[in-house]
Structure 1
Amino acid sequence: MSVNVSKAEAKNLFISAGCNRIVNNVSWGASDLVSFGAQNAVVIFCPKAAQILTTLPGHRAAVTCTHWLPSNKFAFKAKSLERHYLLSGDADGTLILWEFSVADTKWRHVLQLPQSHKKGVTCITAFMVSQRDAIFATSSSDGTVCIWDAELPTSSGGECKLTCLENLIVGSRPMVTLSLAQLPGNTGLIALAMGGLDNKIYLYCGERTGKFVRACEVKGHTDWIRSLDFSLPIFSGECDSILLVSSSQDKGIRIWKLTLRGSLADTEGTRRRGEISLASYIEGPVFVAGSFSYQISLESLLIGHEDWVYSVQWQSPSVVAEEEVGFYQPQSILSASMDKTMMIWQPERKTGIWMNVVTVGELSHCALGFYGGHWSPDACSILAHGFGGEFHMWKNIGVSSDNWQPQKVPSGHFAAVTDIGWASCGEYILSVSHDQTTRIFAPWHNQDPQSNGDSWHEIARPQVHGHDINCAAIIQGKGNHRFVSGADEKVARVFEAPLSFLKTLHHATSEQSSFPEDVQADVQVLGANMSALGLSQKPIYVNATHEVQDNPGNDGIDTVESVPDAVPIALTEPPIEDQLAWHTLWPESHKLYGHGNELFSLCCDHEGKLVASSCKAQSATVADIWLWQVGSWKAVGRLQSHSLTVTQMEFSQDDNLLLAVSRDRQFSVFKINRGMDEINYNLIERREAHKRIIWTCSWNPFGHEFATGSRDKTVKIWGVEKKTSSVKQLLTLPPFDSSVNALSWVGLVRQRNHGLLAVGMETGLLQIWSLHVERGDYSISTGSVTAAPIIRLDPFMCHVSAVNRLAWKKREKNENYTSLQLASCGADNCVRLYEITVDKPDNH
Structure 2
Amino acid sequence: MTMQSSGTVGVKRVFIGAGCNRIVNNVSWGASGFVSFGAHNAVAIFCPKSANILTTLPGHKAVVNCTHWLPSSKFLFKAKQLEQHYLLSGDADGAIILWELSLIDGKWREVLQVPKLHKKGVTCISGIMLSQTEALFASTSSDGTICLWELVFPLTRNGDCKLSLLDSFSIGSKSMVTLSMAELPGTGGQIVLATGGLDNKIHLYCGGRTGKLVHACELKGHTDWIRSLDFSLPISINGDANNIFLVSSSQDKCIRIWKMALRSSITTGKGIYKKEEISLLSYIEGPVLVAGSSSFQISLESLLIGHEDWVYSVQWQPPLVDSVERDAYYQPQSILSASMDKTMMIWQPENNSGVWMNVVTVGELSHCALGFYGGHWSPSGDSILAHGYGGSFHLWKNVINDNWLPQKVPSGHFASVTDVAWAKSGDYIMSVSHDQTARIYAPWKVEASLKKGEFWHEIARPQVHGHDINCMAVVHGKGNHRFVSGADEKVARVFEAPLSFLKTLNNASLQKNCSSDDVLTDVQILGANMSALGLSQKPIYVHAVHEAPLRGVADGLDTLETIPDAVPTVFSEPPIEDQLAWNTLWPETHKLYGHGNELFSLCCDHRGELVASSCKAQSPTVAEVWLWQVGSWKSVGRLQSHSLTVTQMEFSHDDNFLLTVSRDRQFSVFTITRTGTDEISYSLLARQEGHKRIIWSCSWNPHSHEFATGSRDKMVKIWAIEKESSVRPLLTLPQFSSSVTALSWIGLQDRRNNGLLAIGMENGQIELWRLSYNRADDGSILAPGLAATLAVRVDPFICHASTVNRLAWRKNDEDHMSMQLASCGADNCTRVFDVTVE
What band does the TM-score fall into relative to the shorter chain?
A: over 0.9
Partner Cα distance (2:27, 2:432) in 1:
24
- Given the alignment, which residue of 281, 284, 287 partners 1:285? 287
Task: Tell me the secondary structure at the aligned position of residue 801 of structure 2.
Answer: coil
The aligned residue for residue 121 of structure 2 is 120
Q: 1:239 to 1:357 in 2, by over 3 A?
A: closer
Partner Cα distance (1:501, 1:178) in 2:
45
* 2:828 is equivalent to residue 829 of structure 1: yes
The aligned residue for residue 636 of structure 1 is 636
Task: Tell me the secondary structure at the aligned position of residue 335 of structure 1.
Answer: strand
Q: CA deviation at 1:327?
A: 4.4
For structure 1, which runs of at least 5 residues remain unmatched after alignment?
Answer: 840-844
The aligned residue for residue 109 of structure 2 is 108
Q: 1:291 to 1:477 in 2, by over 3 A?
A: same
* 2:83 is equivalent to residue 82 of structure 1: yes
The answer as to whether partners of 2:599 and 2:615 remain within 8 angstroms in 1 is yes
Q: CA deviation at 1:538?
A: 0.7
Task: Tell me the secondary structure at the aligned position of residue 411 of structure 2.
Answer: coil
Letter in 2 for 1:535: L
Q: CA deviation at 1:553?
A: 4.8
Letter in 1 for 2:214: V
- Listed one character per residue, the Cα deviations across residues 326-347 of structure 1 (whole Å, up to 9, x for unaligned) are 7411000000000000000000
Q: 1:351 to 1:648 in 2, by over 3 A?
A: same
Report the more deviating stretch, 586-595 or 724-733.
724-733
Partner Cα distance (2:746, 2:460) in 1:
27
The aligned residue for residue 428 of structure 1 is 428
Report the more deviating stretch, 752-761 or 494-503.
752-761
The aligned residue for residue 26 of structure 1 is 27
Q: CA deviation at 1:650?
A: 0.3
The answer as to whether partners of 2:803 and 2:826 remain within 8 angstroms in 1 is yes
Q: 1:829 to 1:405 in 2, by over 3 A?
A: same
Task: Tell me the secondary structure at the aligned position of residue 435 of structure 2.
Answer: coil
Q: 1:542 to 1:327 in 2, by over 3 A?
A: same
Partner Cα distance (1:706, 1:655) in 2:
13
Letter in 1 for 2:832: L
- Listed one character per residue, the Cα deviations across residues 369-403 of structure 1 (whole Å, up to 9, x for unaligned) are 000000000001000000110000000001xx210
Q: CA deviation at 1:751?
A: 3.6
Partner Cα distance (1:164, 1:728) in 2:
61
Q: 1:219 to 1:447 in 2, by over 3 A?
A: farther
The aligned residue for residue 445 of structure 2 is 445
The aligned residue for residue 658 of structure 1 is 658
Task: Tell me the secondary structure at the aligned position of residue 578 of structure 1.
Answer: helix
Task: Tell me the secondary structure at the aligned position of residue 397 of structure 1.
Answer: strand
- Listed one character per residue, the Cα deviations across residues 410-440 of structure 1 (whole Å, up to 9, x for unaligned) are 0000000000000011010000000000000
The aligned residue for residue 307 of structure 2 is 305
Letter in 2 for 1:739: S
Report the more deviating stretch, 318-327 or 651-660.
318-327
The aligned residue for residue 255 of structure 2 is 253
The answer as to whether partners of 2:551 and 2:563 remain within 8 angstroms in 1 is no
Task: Tell me the secondary structure at the aligned position of residue 32 of structure 2.
Answer: coil
The aligned residue for residue 458 of structure 2 is 458
Q: 1:554 to 1:452 in 2, by over 3 A?
A: farther
Q: CA deviation at 1:184?
A: 2.2
Letter in 2 for 1:463: Q
The answer as to whether partners of 1:447 and 1:455 remain within 8 angstroms in 2 is no
* 2:6 is equivalent to residue 12 of structure 1: no
The answer as to whether partners of 1:339 and 1:364 remain within 8 angstroms in 2 is no
* 2:414 is equivalent to residue 414 of structure 1: yes
* 2:526 is equivalent to residue 523 of structure 1: no
The aligned residue for residue 567 of structure 2 is 567
Letter in 2 for 1:16: G
Partner Cα distance (2:583, 2:326) in 1:
53
The aligned residue for residue 512 of structure 2 is 512
Partner Cα distance (1:685, 1:272) in 2:
93
Q: CA deviation at 1:452?
A: 3.4
Task: Tell me the secondary structure at the aligned position of residue 508 of structure 1.
Answer: helix
Q: CA deviation at 1:185?
A: 1.6
The aligned residue for residue 167 of structure 2 is 166
The 5 Å alignment of 1:294-693 reads 294-319=296-321, 327-362=329-364, 366-398=368-400, 401-446=401-446, 449-549=449-549, 553-555=552-554, 561-675=561-675, 676-693=677-694
Partner Cα distance (1:51, 1:269) in 2:
56
Task: Tell me the secondary structure at the aligned position of residue 171 of structure 1.
Answer: coil
The answer as to whether partners of 2:649 and 2:698 remain within 8 angstroms in 1 is yes
The answer as to whether partners of 1:808 and 1:821 remain within 8 angstroms in 2 is yes
Partner Cα distance (1:531, 1:819) in 2:
43
Partner Cα distance (2:664, 2:324) in 1:
68
Q: CA deviation at 1:361?
A: 0.5
The answer as to whether partners of 2:125 and 2:179 remain within 8 angstroms in 1 is yes
The aligned residue for residue 229 of structure 2 is 228
Partner Cα distance (2:767, 2:6) in 1:
15
The aligned residue for residue 266 of structure 2 is 264
The answer as to whether partners of 2:234 and 2:241 remain within 8 angstroms in 1 is no
Letter in 2 for 1:613: S
The answer as to whether partners of 2:313 and 2:338 remain within 8 angstroms in 1 is yes
The answer as to whether partners of 2:322 and 2:329 remain within 8 angstroms in 1 is no
Q: CA deviation at 1:559?
A: 5.3
Number of aligned residue pairs = 828
The answer as to whether partners of 2:773 and 2:781 remain within 8 angstroms in 1 is no
* 2:723 is equivalent to residue 734 of structure 1: no
Letter in 2 for 1:694: I
Taking structure 2 as the reference length, what is the TM-score of the superposition?
Answer: 0.96
- Listed one character per residue, the Cα deviations across residues 481-522 of structure 1 (whole Å, up to 9, x for unaligned) are 000000000000000000000000010011123333222111
Q: 1:751 to 1:241 in 2, by over 3 A?
A: closer
Partner Cα distance (2:592, 2:284) in 1:
70
The 5 Å alignment of 1:802-813 reads 802-811=803-812, 813=814
- Listed one character per residue, the Cα deviations across residues 612-631 of structure 1 (whole Å, up to 9, x for unaligned) are 00000111120000000001
Taking structure 1 as the reference length, what is the TM-score of the superposition?
Answer: 0.95
Q: 1:225 to 1:84 in 2, by over 3 A?
A: same
Partner Cα distance (1:745, 1:447) in 2:
34
The aligned residue for residue 842 of structure 1 is none
Q: 1:786 to 1:217 in 2, by over 3 A?
A: same
- Given the alignment, which residue of 238, 241, 244 partners 1:242? 244
Report the more deviating stretch, 595-604 or 778-787.
778-787
Q: 1:310 to 1:266 in 2, by over 3 A?
A: farther
The 5 Å alignment of 1:717-728 reads 717-722=718-723, 724-728=724-728
Q: 1:694 to 1:657 in 2, by over 3 A?
A: same
The aligned residue for residue 747 of structure 1 is 747
Task: Tell me the secondary structure at the aligned position of residue 546 of structure 2.
Answer: helix
Report the more deviating stretch, 711-720 or 560-569.
560-569
Partner Cα distance (2:369, 2:583) in 1:
15
Q: 1:478 to 1:170 in 2, by over 3 A?
A: same
Q: 1:5 to 1:162 in 2, by over 3 A?
A: closer
Task: Tell me the secondary structure at the aligned position of residue 263 of structure 1.
Answer: coil
Report the more deviating stretch, 642-651 or 742-751.
742-751
Partner Cα distance (1:106, 1:326) in 2:
31
Task: Tell me the secondary structure at the aligned position of residue 211 of structure 1.
Answer: coil
For structure 2, which runs of at least 5 residues remain unmatched after alignment?
Answer: none
Q: CA deviation at 1:88?
A: 0.5
The answer as to whether partners of 2:98 and 2:113 remain within 8 angstroms in 1 is yes
Letter in 2 for 1:661: V
Partner Cα distance (1:644, 1:272) in 2:
80
Letter in 2 for 1:360: V
Q: 1:320 to 1:41 in 2, by over 3 A?
A: farther
The aligned residue for residue 141 of structure 2 is 140
Q: 1:259 to 1:321 in 2, by over 3 A?
A: farther
Q: CA deviation at 1:470?
A: 0.4
The aligned residue for residue 774 of structure 2 is 774
CA RMSD of aligned residues (A): 2.1
The answer as to whether partners of 1:472 and 1:484 remain within 8 angstroms in 2 is yes
Partner Cα distance (2:341, 2:624) in 1:
47
Letter in 2 for 1:257: K
Task: Tell me the secondary structure at the aligned position of residue 187 of structure 1.
Answer: coil
Partner Cα distance (1:320, 1:79) in 2:
15
Q: 1:391 to 1:553 in 2, by over 3 A?
A: same
